[in-house]
Amino acid sequence: MSYYTPITSWTVPKHGWYKAFEEMEDDGRQGNEGTCFLVGSRKDEIARITDLAFLRGPGIEKHPDLITISDDLIHELALKIAGSDRCILGQIHSHGINYSTNLSQTDHRYTMRVPGFLSIVAPNYAQEIVTPEECGVHVFETSYGFRRMQPQEARVRLNIVLDEDCGLIYVGGTEQCKSKSL
């Protein structure tokens, strides 16, 4: 028996999808990968993304082919959502023009390894908003590790929804951490 309930689909508010790309696009213009975490709830085999977590400050380093995130920054995010019905469901990050949307060996080794954890790779440093099937959509499976979904599977399992709001969570840096709605 697993502590984690199975996930058959994920819902992402359209505004959240766009905001994630906007966040990564800024880093991409500087020639670096960008990222944000997908936060929400898991129930009845559905993961509902309700918030995006943007990481700031000295706990995150962005490079052309690598992002490093300190344990302290992850801990700060965990404390921020503790006591709510939310958890970290996944992350989206960008790869550069000369890189594929597959997970790198570093991504495989250091991305959170939780059943149902989603790891989405946006192409071309997220310089344009694309659909999930144009990204590399990977899910962690206990018996396999991270598995890349085929475009058709990504289209069916990752649903961009119009009518749901998406909150923003800022973690790290000198700016006061806060949540707000889009």
Tens digits of residue pLDDT in 93-141: 999 887 777 776 766 666 778 889 999 999 999 999 999 999 999 999 9
174-178 mean pLDDT: 46
179 has a pLDDT exceeding 50: no
pLDDT, position 175 = 53
pLDDT, position 181 = 38
DSSP letters for the chain: --SSPP-SEEEEEHHHHHHHHHHHHHHHHTT---EEEEEEEEETTEEEEEEEEEEEGGGEEE-SS-EEE-HHHHHHHHHHHTTSS-EEEEEEEE--TTS-SSPPHHHHHHS---TT-EEEEESGGG-S---GGGSEEEEEETTTEEEEPPHHHHHHHEEEESS---EEEEEESSSPP-EEE-
CATH class (in words) of the domain with range 9-181:
alpha beta
pLDDT, position 6 = 86
Whether the model pTM is above 0.85: yes
pLDDT, position 51 = 97
Question: Could you state, in order of their start, the residue ranges of all structural domains in the chain?
Answer: 9-181
Percent share of the chain, pLDDT over 90: 75
pLDDT, position 121 = 94
pLDDT, position 4 = 77
**Distance of alpha carbon 181 from alpha carbon 50, whole angstroms:** 10
Tens digits of residue pLDDT in 8-67: 999 999 999 999 999 999 999 999 999 999 999 999 999 999 999 999 999 999 999 999
pLDDT, position 1 = 45
pLDDT, position 75 = 95
pLDDT, position 110 = 63
166-174 mean pLDDT: 88
Q: pLDDT category, 174, cuts 50, 70, 90?
A: low
